[in-house]
Each structure stands twice: as C-alpha cells, then as structure tokens.
Amino acid sequence: MSFGGFLAVVISLLALGAIVVTFPKPGKIPAQVPSGSTGLPSWQHGTDIDQNRLYSIVTFSFLLQMFGAIYVFKWTNNTANIPRKVISYFSEGIDKTRTTTYNRLLAFYLLFTALAALALLAFNIGKLWEAFGLWHNLWEMAILTLLNQGGKIKSVSRYVLGLGIYFIGTNTIILFLNWPLDAVFFKFQGLVIDFLQFIFYTRIYLNTRKRDREEAEARLPLDSEESENGGGRHEEASKPILIEHPKQLLLLVAATFELNIPHLIHDNIPAFCTICLLGYTRVSQKRIYLPKPVAWKTAVIIIWSFFLSLLAIRLSYGDK
C-alpha cells in the first residue's frame, strides 16, 4: 500500500470514529405502534404517520417493481438469439464479460424488492417483515459482489457461501436485538449497501467515460484522406441512438442515489429496466469498463459507506 493510500484509510477511519462519538446517548425509547394487520409490534413509532399515503406509495412501488421484473426476465431469457453487435460487455483489463449475468441478477433484485413491498402491505415494517426485506438487500449484495469480480462469478461455491453468511448472519443479529436496535441495525446495513452501490456505479461511469475518451483520441484519423475513407464505420457511429454511451450508466447512478432518499416512490425501477433494454436493443459500442480493484480504495469506499449510513441515521433521529 502506498503512503497516499495508507493516509486515505487513516483519514476515513478518523471520520468514521468522529461520527460514532457524536451519537447522543439513548433517551426514552419510543413505544412501538402495533401493526394494523397482525397486531404485532412494528418498527414504526408515533401516531403522525399518514397510513393512507404510505400504503399508496408502497402499492405503486410494488406495481412498478413487478412489471419491471417481468420485462427484465423477458429480455434476459432469450439472449442466445440476440445479435452480438447489440450485446454489452464488462471490461476489466484484457478480460471481457457479457452483462447477461448482471442483468439476470437485476431481474431477481426487482422481483424480490416487489415481494418485499407486498409483504410490507401485509405485515407492516417490523421483525416479521424483515425476513422479506432482507432478500432485497441480498440481491443488492449479489450484484455488488458480481461487479467486484469483473462481472462474472469466478467461484460459485464461494459466491453462494459469502452471500449465505451475510444473509443468515444479518438475520440472526436482527432476530436477537431488541427494539429499537433491531430496526436501527437493519436500516444501517441496508444504507451501507445502498451507498456502496451509489459509489460503485459512479466509479464505473467515470472510468468508462475516461476510457472511451482515451480510445476515441487514439482512433482519430492521421490525415484528411484517412478521414474520408472512414466511410461505413463513421456512418454507423453517427446513427441516432436513444442515450449516448456511456451516459446510460448515469441511470444506475441516479437510481441508487434515490434509494438513499426515504419516503419517495421508487420510480428508480424504470431506470434499471432501461439499462437492460439498451443492453439488448441498441447498436453502439457499449463496453463498460469496471474500475480496477485496489485494496486501499476498496477499504476507503467501505469505510465511507459506513460513515454515510451512520450520518443518515444520525440526521434522521437527531437528538432523540
């Protein structure tokens, strides 16, 4: 590790420590509101919650997520008949991997997010709902792990084992924690994953844009005669496209950013679906360059995701 990398890790740890020590001592624990459907204690507290508006938002989100999952499954189920010229690829060094596995994981993510929303309508948010809500986080972890491995599963056994440890471990911790620590821990680990996604997708976009510009400069014609003879390639490159590469990756950045804003309708689902649609229907150079994994950078990203998660919880609870 370079000195700069070591310094970045130390500064990140100091920032994390600072946010931890600023948390106020717990005061009076608010009473839990019973679930209207089961009568069991929920993770909501107080009586100022507009249940009608809440259920309206969750219902609309469920419909978006379910329709999104259906279409993404449809698009990813028949990739054998898709022309090679419209397939997107993840590129890491000299390795090139189709985005098919990523898109399929995205379909499962949408499906289980929809089921979590349906369970929320049935049970209200709480320990009973957590068994469904954690599946949403599990598929996010599956996607992050896949991207960190260059867009492909290098070892199925290790991949499944790692996700299993996360799922069982997190579920066990939440089951044994009492209110309000169970709700806070669930929110904390979920926010960590959401911030990890946002940072990772932002890095993918910036890295892809940089590499595309470098390759475009390397392909510039040396003289006017070579430029005139560019012919067919120039004509194909100049064809109108829906979203210019790599700007479609900004949809992922925007979608994961919205995940960190509470109390909103999750209209980020169409953004995820559009990514898959572009990946299978648009003809353009769509190689997606994944950032090279560096140990100290990975550590800094994880630490700052912890920091941002704690900061969000700190701001949401104030001095309560």
Res 169: pLDDT:
95
Q: Which of 294, 105, 307, 142 is nearest to 203 (CA)?
A: 294
Q: Which residues of the chain have pLDDT under 50?
A: 222, 224-243, 263-283
Q: Which residues pair with 97 in a beta bridge?
A: 90
Q: Taking a C-beta distance cutoff of 8 angstroms, is the pair 175, 314 a contact?
A: no
Domain locations along the chain: 49-217+245-317
Does the 49-217+245-317 domain belong in CATH 1.10.10?
no
Q: What is the pTM of this model?
A: 0.77
C-alpha pair distances (Å), 28 with each of 25, 31, 180, 312, 319? 10, 9, 11, 21, 11
Res 272: pLDDT:
47
Side chain identity, residue 67: F
**256-312 residue pLDDT tens:** 555 555 533 344 444 444 444 444 444 455 677 888 878 888 899 999 999 988 888
